[in-house]
Structure 1
Amino acid sequence: MSVRLKLTLSYAGFLMVAGALLLVVVWVFLLRYVPDRQIMAIGGDVPNRADLERAFIPRMAAGMFCLLVFGLVGGWILAGRMLAPLTRITHATRLAADGSLSHRIRMEGRGDEFRELADAFDTMLTRLEAHVVEQQRFAANASHELRTPLAISQTMLEVARSDPNRDTGGLIERLHAVNARAIDLTEALLLLSRADTRSFTRGYVDLSLIAEEAVETMLPLAERHGIALETSGGLAPAVGSQALLLQMTTNLVHNAIVHNLPAHGRIWVGTAVRPASVVLTVENTGKKLPPQLIPTLAEPFQRGTGRIRDDHAGVGLGLAIVRSIALAHDGRLTLTARPAGGLRITVELPAAPRPAPR
């Protein structure tokens, strides 16, 4: 049976029970004032219970039949009116299942349960549509980025085949560099997918130690470009993946190096503890960034201005990976332009629970 039919039968059944109870009460009330036997009186006989039964029961049956018809018809109409919003939600669900994510219910009226359900469904569709658009844009960008090194490799191989006397030493070096870039891009995509699916083991980590390790790893690259690295902060306990958080911090320091001043740049890496969270901050000097550019820097394959052009330029997924790792750890990534130029990046993660006192 449909929900509308079930509600109709429920309304009619409730109305029948209520009517029957009312008639029983009336019947009991009348029995108190009607004698059992027929009593002779001046002017005629006084009605007894037999007379009452002959007069009351047929009318009671007719009344119950009317209540049944009224309950079924009225219940069917009321159920249809109450379930009308559910029909709109079902229609929107079918459209979404067919791939139409732009449709919205936009239910009007007071805030009842159906209105809350419709609003929640509209919010879900909005987020799902944005996610699909982002995934499509990401797939297109990834395909373009992967096609570039493959096209370059194919061109160099065709040139080598058409000119057998060409020196292969330089060709091999260039092919090695192009192949290494393709491998780096593939590994970055795999890391991004791993962070998005949260397929990692969590454990106790100290962000201050991770920051020191990342700084030591990136120190030769910073010294090569004349950039000074400074670290500060104490113990910053969190819960997460040691490898992913190290990759996140390394990406932040690497990003601060390649987006710095051509010479005499500075980078500040610090950790701090808040009441319910721990904070990792990476701040660097550099060119002034326009405000409209800041929200797009964490999108895949987005590159800011003033990048140091070298073999360590990256594949355009550094901050996208940072954001995915932070979200996978229930954290938050914040990008802020420095007034003097450069960028300040803050990653806030939930603090590790304190051990219970012994």
Structure 2
Amino acid sequence: MDRQPGWSVRLKLTLSYAGFLMLAGVLILTAVWVFLLRSYPSGMLVRSVLLRGFGPAVAAVLIFLLIFGLLGGWILAGRMLAPLDRITQATRTAADGSLSHRIRLPGRQDEFRELADTFDTMLTQLETHVAEQQRFAANASHELRTPLAISKALIDVARADPHHDSSELVDRLHTINTRAIDLTEALLLLSRANQRSFTRENVDLSLIAEQAAETLHPLAEKHGVTLHTSGDITTTTGSPALLLQLTTNLIHNAIVHNLPHHGTVWIHTSTRPTTAVLTIDNTGEHLTEQLVATLTEPFQRGTERIHTDQAGVGLGLALVKTITTAHNGTLTLHPRTTGGLNITVELPQPPQK
């Protein structure tokens, strides 16, 4: 924003300090003058003598207060505003693209130091967010490039050998194209959830869970996994489509990352004093805390746990995390002691009317 040049804050504080000092001096001298008038007998001669003796002293005192106020105010204002200069320099450094700089303002807690600490915290969060976005963009580019490169290779093979069976080529291209479309749609959904551009309404998580479980029942049968759904009415506020996507992703993840045979997935909804809770437990291999901590990162599929070709596009739990955050909820993942994973989503309940 273009602004007209104006006085600096330091100059304004200096003039304010000097002005108040001058005003205090005038009030004090006026009080002395009134006291002198009351202390001496009335008369023109006496008052004339007092005025001749008191006037130059008043002028000298006022000149001294003006100079002292300007000089002292300038020094004091500079000392008081020194932290603000450091904050301003840090802001300019951040505006130039350097997010690693921190103010780290020393001293006891006050308004300036609270502002500096808040700014440092914001820079840390912003730096982390930018790093995540850069890593996500790099991973997304790699994931999108892979199916395109495979498609190009298949087409080159077909062009080099016109007599090659085209049905197999078409099937493979269809599979690769479907995967690229799924990835693109997942990226768009992730972007939509990040922007929180959706209409909120009351949603019953128990119905959402039943709908998602019913949709994924054929996949569960194919993998030999049994689905158990339980829970009472569990109401939250949000987007039905996004919450259905969240639940579907969790159940899908629990099915495909399960035991090779006779696996189980437990889907339960419940309420707490202020939150609606969706819990997904599944059997499976034993997981470490270190591995579980990475599963919500984009394109982290936990490949050591995959026993089928249902690996998805690597955005399942990342999308769950984004949707949960967009709904002001919390997502927690813990490895089960008997193997498999426990995932809990807590979402705010609608306000009581």
Normalised to the residue count of structure 1, the TM-score between the two structures is 0.95
Q: CA deviation at 1:148?
A: 0.3
AA matched with 2:111: E
The residue number in structure 1 matching 2:306 is 307
Find out whether 1:340 has 2:346 as its counterpart: no
Task: Write out per-residue CA displacement over residues 229-254 of structure 1, whole angstroms, 9 at most, x where no aligned residue.
Answer: 00110000111100000000000000
Read off the aligned partner of 1:183 and give its amino acid letter: I
2:13 corresponds to 1:10: no
C-alpha distance in 1 between matches for 2:351 and 2:64: 67
Kindly provide the amino acid, as one letter, of the partner of residue 32 in structure 2. Answer: V
Is contact 1:156-1:171 (8 Å) kept? yes
AA aligned to 1:333 is: L
- Indicate yes or no: 2:264 matched with 1:266: yes
Q: C-alpha displacement at 1:340, in angstroms?
A: 0.7
Q: Distance in 1 between matches of 2:43 and 2:84?
A: 59
Contact 1:331 1:348 in 2 (8 A): yes
SS in 2 for 1:205: strand
Counterpart of 1:297 in structure 2 is 295
Aligned match for 1:29, one of 27, 35, 51? 35
Farther off after superposition, 297-306 or 117-126? 297-306
Contact kept in structure 1, 2:278 and 2:344, CA below 8 Å: yes
User: How many residues are treated as equivalent by the alignment?
Assistant: 346
Which stretches of structure 1, 4 residues or longer, exceed 6 Å deviation after superposition? none
Paired position in structure 2 for 1:106: 104
Measured in 1, the distance between the counterparts of 2:43 and 2:345 equals 93
* Conserved? CA contact 1:269–1:281, under 8 Å: yes
CA deviation digits over 1:162-182, x for unaligned, max 9? 111111110000000000000
Deviations 1:243-276 (A, max 9, x none): 0000000000000011100001000000001110
How far did residue 34 of structure 1 move?
1.6
Q: Distance in 2 between matches of 1:29 and 1:205?
A: 79
Task: Give the whole-Å Cα distance in 2 for the aligned partners of 1:206 and 1:291.
Answer: 31
Aligned pairs (5 A) from 1:192-271: 192-271=190-269
DSSP-derived class of the 1:110 partner:
coil
Superposition deviation, residue 204 in structure 1: 1.0
Give the residue type in structure 2 aligned to 1:267: V
For 1:58, the equivalent position in structure 2 comes to 56
Task: Give yes or no for the alignment of 1:151 onto 2:149.
Answer: yes
SS at match of 1:229: strand
Q: CA deviation at 1:143?
A: 0.4
> Which of residues 320, 324, 338 is equivalent to 2:322?
324
Runs (5+) with no aligned partner, structure 2: 1-6
Instruction: Give the TM-score normalised by the residue count of structure 2.
Output: 0.97
CA distance, structure 2, for counterparts of residue 175 and residue 37 of structure 1: 115
User: Which residue in the other structure is 1:44 paired with?
Assistant: none
Deviation at 1:37, TM superposition (A): 2.5
Residue deviations 1:78-135 (CA, integer Å, cap 9, x gap): 0000000000000000000000000000001010000000000000000000000000
Q: CA deviation at 1:36?
A: 2.4
Residues 301, 311 of structure 2: 8 Å contact kept:
no
Cα shift readout 1:206-242 (whole Å, capped 9, x = no counterpart): 0000000000011100001110100110000111100
1-structure distance, mates of 2:320, 2:226: 22
**Aligned partners of 2:300, 2:134: CA distance in 1, in Å?**
15
- Output aligned runs, 1:80-159, within 5 Å: 80-159=78-157
Partners of 1:261 and 1:306 within 8 A in 2: no
Secondary structure in 2 aligned to 1:48?
helix
Q: Percent identity between the aligned chains?
A: 67
Per-residue deviation, 1:353: 2.3
- Amino acid aligned to 2:256: V
Aligned mates of 2:37, 2:256 — CA distance in 1: 99
**CA–CA separation in structure 2 for the residues paired with 1:33 and 1:119:** 58
Q: Distance in 1 between matches of 2:36 and 2:15?
A: 31
Looking at structure 1, the residues matched to 43 and 330 of structure 2 have their Cα atoms a distance apart, in angstroms, of 88
Q: Of residues 26, 44, 47 in structure 2, which corresponds to 1:20? A: 26
Secondary structure of 1:90's counterpart equals: helix
Deviation per CA, 1:35-70, whole angstroms, max 9, x where unpaired? 2237xxxxxxxx711100000011101100000000
**Cα distance in structure 2, aligned partners of 1:289 and 1:207:** 28
Post-superposition shift, 1:33? 1.3
Tell me how far 1:290 sits from its aligned partner.
Answer: 1.2
CA contact (8 A) 2:186 2:315 kept: yes
Find the aligned partners of 1:33 and 1:353 in 2 and give their Cα distance.
Answer: 73
Match of 1:175 in 2: 173
8 Å CA contact retained: 2:205, 2:233: yes
When the two chains are superposed, the root-mean-square deviation of aligned CA atoms in Å is: 0.9
Residues 14 and 74 in structure 2, CA contact (< 8 A), matched pair in contact too: yes
AA in 2 matched with 1:230: H
Quick one: which amino acid aligns to residue 324 of structure 1? T
- How big is the shift at 1:291? 1.3
> What is the correspondence of 1:271-290 to structure 2 with a 5 Å cutoff?
271-290=269-288
